[in-house]
Chain A
Amino acid sequence: MDTARLIRVAECEWRLPQQGAMRVPGVIFADLPLLRAMDDKVSEQLANVASLPGIVQAAYAMPDAHWGYGFPIGGVAAFDPEQGGVVSAGGVGFDIACGVRTLLTGLRRSDLEPVKARLADVLAARIPAGVGSTGSLRLDASAMDAMLAGGARWAVAQGYGLPEDLARTEEGGCVAGADPAQVSPAAKRRQRDEMGTLGSGNHYLEVQHVAEVCDARIAAAYGLAVGDVVISLHCGSRGLGHQIGTEFLREMAIGAGAAGIVLPDRELACAPIRSAVGKRYLGAMRAAINCALANRQILTHVARAAVREVLPGARVALLYDVSHNTCKVEQHVVDGALRHLHVHRKGATRAFGPGHPELPVAFRALGQPVLIGGSMGTASYVLAGTRNGRDGAFRSACHGAGRAMSRNEAARRWHGRSVIDELAARGVEIRSPSSRGVAEEAPGAYKDVVAVVDVAERAGLACKVARLEPLVCVKG
């Protein structure tokens, strides 16, 4: 990225001054190497976001920001309905409520190693993954609506998982305000075969070990110690969310002019929060959040059974579940006043600190777990929201490493079989139905997640708690 237009205001914070149509400045959290490695599109897209009606304070880019659709991926922006603020289908994206869920297992790495390959086989056989995979659950129309209204709570009531899982899920497993009636028949049809499926691309289920503890107090309270085995899932709202994103993006892009909104990029498709289409989108988008929460809950249930089949002594419990493509109504203090804002996070994670009233009791004294995904051979991280966390970024942090190169370039550089063999030599069992899919997701195709989380900590967005390294990865 060309840094000429940016002003460095702190070691890891750069300001894009307000100019042209921008209503607020842009802020990028990065050190110089990360900033230089970012695409110029990030600052261009940040400036576009900053021009949208009703935006509050600034448009933010997290340390893993990269070129996205309208919003940069790793983008955060809040809008005030009292000031004509908008909700943006482009700002949430296609994979609504894509997120990460991490499970504790009560196992040690030494328990797992003798049966690692078998566990990989059983997980790959049980977890529907990849293009065209289908779940075993088929929902009729009323059950579909109940799932969309109830999220993970619905899933637990159907026998998928444990009631205590819900306290360890954002929103208690069910976001309020979901309106299944605003979800089109096409979106519901697209979901028909996809409940309880992982998807493809960068979605995965990983068995990991805690390789390093960075904050002993918080790690102990989260239940993490060096050598422990955990499981992390990365997936979202599947076809239903994709279809909702597709339909509302089109409707908002076409209708923006009539709503008096000048879109610098059609992909920033948005509508006033208080407009009819804005309200319909919020109802549908929240239903998609619940779909993602139900989906990860069902996958948790399947993974639990698979782990117990191989390791009967395992006690699989949820650490936390966070979504990173959402728009949520939150209270934030801006210029000394408490305001109710619609906070968009596109490839960014909530990072609520200690004492936040929306946190589960278990985390209220600690701050929430912020789950940062990796890619097969690379590390994942557990961070924690901090008391001094950047309220300026509406208490948000990064969500992953972000890609360093395109899929085509990755497929040219690597072959899936050699990636699998190389990772096996390093002790990581990969299971995937697609060799090309593995090549496109090769660890080398991603940025250095260590640099990203280091900057997130130095910028005060969240603090490092533990580093996780993969042992088994089931890819779609």
Chain B
Amino acid sequence: MAWEHFAHGADIGVRGIGRSRAEAFGEAAVALTAVLVDPRSVVAQSELPIRCSAPDDEMLLVDWLNAVVYAMATRHMLFCRYEVRLEDHALAASAWGEALDRARHRPAVEVKGATCTELAVRERSDGSWVAQCVVDV
């Protein structure tokens, strides 16, 4: 499992890589957290359930990341670990994290939303999965 960022002219691409579609979704959300802060600086103190569904895999990834953006914005929380369960195009997840501490976490930039730009959810030839899109900051 791994996450990374990729370049976009004005914003940032988030990419999750995992042994399954669900793991790739979880790692993409870690990459989302990393846009704001170093995920290693976030303590997994509390758990938040998140659910969403969409007509296809790609829109589900956008919905999932936007659900995390919404939770961060309205609950003033950061998340460091995600456990994602997928059934077709329905997602149920647990997000673990803690309240944002501006002095300690020193967040760089807020995410406005996940976009359909460079959006992809695909299985690679080695059987691993990639889930990615650009997020607007």
Residues in A lying within 8 Å of B, measured CB to CB: 39, 41, 66-70, 73, 90, 93-95, 130-133, 186, 189-190, 192-193, 199-201, 239, 242-243, 245-246, 249-250, 253-254, 265-267, 269, 402-403, 406-409, 411, 433-437, 440, 476
- The answer to whether A131 touches B108 (Cβ under 8 A) is yes
Assess whether B132 is interfacial by the CB under 8 Å rule.
Answer: no
- The answer to whether A253 touches B59 (Cβ under 8 A) is yes
8 Å CB contact of B10 from A73, A132, A433:
A73
Given contacts A409-B7, A433-B102, contact A132 B107 (CB under 8 A): yes
- The answer to whether A39 touches B100 (Cβ under 8 A) is no
- The answer to whether A243 touches B9 (Cβ under 8 A) is no
A97 to chain B, nearest CB (A): 13
How far apart are the CA atoms of A407 and B12 in the complex, in Å? 7
Residues in B lying within 8 Å of A, measured CB to CB: 5, 7-12, 36, 55, 59, 62-63, 66, 69-70, 73-74, 76, 100, 102, 106-110, 112-117, 119, 134, 136-137
| Residues of A contacting B11 in the complex (Cβ-Cβ under 8 angstroms) | 407
B35's closest neighbor in chain A, by CB? A407
- The answer to whether B62 touches A250 (Cβ under 8 A) is yes
A163 to chain B, nearest CB (A): 32
9 nearest interchain CB pairs? A131-B107, A436-B108, A266-B116, A406-B7, A67-B9, A242-B112, A94-B112, A437-B108, A267-B116
8 Å CB contact of B102 from A90, A131, A403:
A131
| Residues of B contacting A440 in the complex (Cβ-Cβ under 8 angstroms) | 108-109
| Residues of B contacting A266 in the complex (Cβ-Cβ under 8 angstroms) | 116, 119
A94's closest neighbor in chain B, by CB? B112
| Residues of A contacting B134 in the complex (Cβ-Cβ under 8 angstroms) | 69
| Residues of A contacting B112 in the complex (Cβ-Cβ under 8 angstroms) | 94-95, 242, 245
| Residues of B contacting A70 in the complex (Cβ-Cβ under 8 angstroms) | 116-117
- The answer to whether A200 touches B109 (Cβ under 8 A) is yes
- The answer to whether B109 touches A131 (Cβ under 8 A) is yes
B30 to chain A, nearest CB (A): 16
| Residues of A contacting B69 in the complex (Cβ-Cβ under 8 angstroms) | 242, 246
- The answer to whether A200 touches B66 (Cβ under 8 A) is no
How far apart are the CA atoms of A239 and B110 in the complex, in Å? 10
Given contacts A69-B134, A406-B12, contact A189 B74 (CB under 8 A): yes
A157 to chain B, nearest CB (A): 28
- The answer to whether A190 touches B9 (Cβ under 8 A) is no
Given contacts A69-B136, A266-B119, A406-B8, contact A246 B109 (CB under 8 A): no
Q: Other CB < 8 Å A-B pairs besides A130-B102, A433-B102, 11 of them?
A: A41-B9, A70-B116, A70-B117, A73-B9, A73-B10, A90-B116, A186-B70, A200-B107, A246-B114, A250-B62, A440-B109
What are 29 contact pairs spanning A and B, CB under 8 A?
A66-B10, A68-B9, A69-B115, A69-B117, A95-B136, A130-B102, A132-B76, A189-B74, A190-B73, A199-B110, A200-B108, A201-B109, A201-B137, A242-B112, A245-B113, A246-B66, A246-B69, A246-B113, A250-B59, A253-B59, A267-B115, A267-B117, A403-B10, A407-B137, A408-B7, A408-B12, A433-B107, A434-B107, A434-B108
